[in-house]
Structures are given as C-alpha cells and as structure tokens.
C-alpha cells in the first residue's frame, strides 16, 4: 500500500513539473515595483529616464500632442505610463511620467484606497527631513493636500481618504505659474 502512495505522489510531481516546463515565458507578465524615491528626482533628460524605466522592465505606453486634460503642467508635451503592482512595497495601480522639452516635469503614482495608511506612513518617514508646506502659516494649498518641499520640487498627496489616492512629484523648474507663486512663498 505504501508503494502505491509513493508511486502516485511521484506521478503527480512529474505531471506538475511537465506542465510548468510547457508554459511559455509569455504566460508570465513581470510587472516591476516602482522604487524611485521622489525626493531625489530632478528634471532629468527624457531619453535617460525612459531608458532606465524600460531597463527596469516597465511596459511604458507613451504619448505626445497632449490635450490640456492630459497634462499636469501647462508645458507638458510628452507622457509615458505603466501599470504597476506596487511602489515602495505598497500595493499601487499606475505610474505616469511627464516631460516638457525633453526634461522630466512630473511623476504621478496612483494607489488603491486600501494603501492609504501604508502610503501615508511611508511618506511621513521618508520625507520627515523636508518642509511640510501645508503646515506653514498662510499656506495657499487646498486643505485636502499634504505637500513637502524637496531640493528639486514638491511632493503632494491626499490628506484624507477621498477619491483617488495619488502622489505627485513636480519639478521646481517647471511648476505652473500658480505653483511657482506657492513655491516662491516658501523660500
């Protein structure tokens, strides 16, 4: 009886291994994790940025001739996006990178509502040494936004769990006129 159990178990293992070997690599879609620390971003060259993300395995879809509702900054002229499963070990949905005149202007990350608390803790920890713009007296930011001033831009996210959960990095050199005023205010 024991021999029969071992033979059947052996057959099951052989069948499983054979099925795994017959699956092509196309059956598996690798989706990399977004790990770029936004606080260290600069207005990097477009080709260099896209090459790096493609090398990491991101399946980027890119578009030019952007309509006004597809832009974050008024001068954005190129957009690339990719689905992601996580960012900073936190479940995530999508990443988009925006360019103007071949320079990085904005990075936008979208997270599911279930990631809100983890994301908030991550940002508070990694950005603790940067100025919180929403806490400054006389700030002109919407009261639903948390924002930090970094060396090369601003990082903003939702203050409360409402609507889409987004994180946005905007380059200091390409902020919209309204953003420039807000940025000058905090210097």
Q: Which residues pair with 148 in a beta bridge?
A: 132, 155
Whole-number pLDDT of residue 69: 87
Residue 51 CA to chain centroid, in angstroms?
A: 16
Q: Domain 38-185, what fold?
A: Protein Transport Mog1p; Chain A (3.40.1000)
Encode pLDDT of 18-42 as tens digits: 554 554 445 556 678 898 888 899 9
Q: To the nearest whole number, what is the mean pLDDT of the chain?
A: 80
Average pLDDT over residues 47-68: 92
| Rg (alpha carbons) of the chain, rounded to whole number | 22
Encode pLDDT of 148-185 as tens digits: 999 999 999 988 877 788 999 999 877 654 444 434 33
More confident residue, 140 or 100: 100
Average pLDDT over residues 50-64: 92
Which phi and psi (to 5°) does residue 3 adopt?
Answer: -65, -40
What is the spatial distance between Cα 25 and Cα 18, in angstroms, rounded to a whole number?
14
3-state secondary structure (DSSP) of residue 180: helix
Encode pLDDT of 70-116 as tens digits: 888 888 999 999 999 999 999 999 999 999 999 999 999 999 999 99
Domain boundaries, the chain: 38-185
């Amino acid at each position: 009886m024991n021999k029969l159990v071992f033979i059947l178990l052996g057959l099951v293992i052989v069948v499983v291994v054979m099925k795994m070997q017959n699956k092509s690599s196309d059956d598996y879609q690798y989706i990399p994790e977004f790990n770029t620390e936004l606080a260290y971003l600069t207005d990097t060259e477009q080709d260099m940025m896209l090459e790096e993300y493609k090398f990491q395995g991101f399946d980027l879809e890119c578009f030019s001739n952007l309509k006004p509702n597809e832009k974050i900054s008024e001068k954005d002229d190129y957009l690339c996006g990719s689905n992601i499963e996580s960012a900073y070990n936190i479940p995530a949905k999508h990443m988009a990178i925006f360019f103007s005149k071949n320079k990085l202007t904005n990075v936008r990350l979208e997270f599911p509502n279930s990631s809100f608390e983890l994301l908030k803790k991550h940002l508070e920890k990694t950005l603790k040494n940067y100025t919180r713009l929403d806490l400054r007296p006389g700030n002109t930011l919407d009261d639903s936004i948390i924002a930090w001033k970094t060396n090369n831009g601003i990082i903003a996210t939702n203050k409360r769990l409402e609507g889409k959960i987004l994180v946005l990095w905007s380059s200091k050199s390409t902020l919209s006129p309204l953003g420039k005023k807000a940025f000058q205010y905090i210097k």
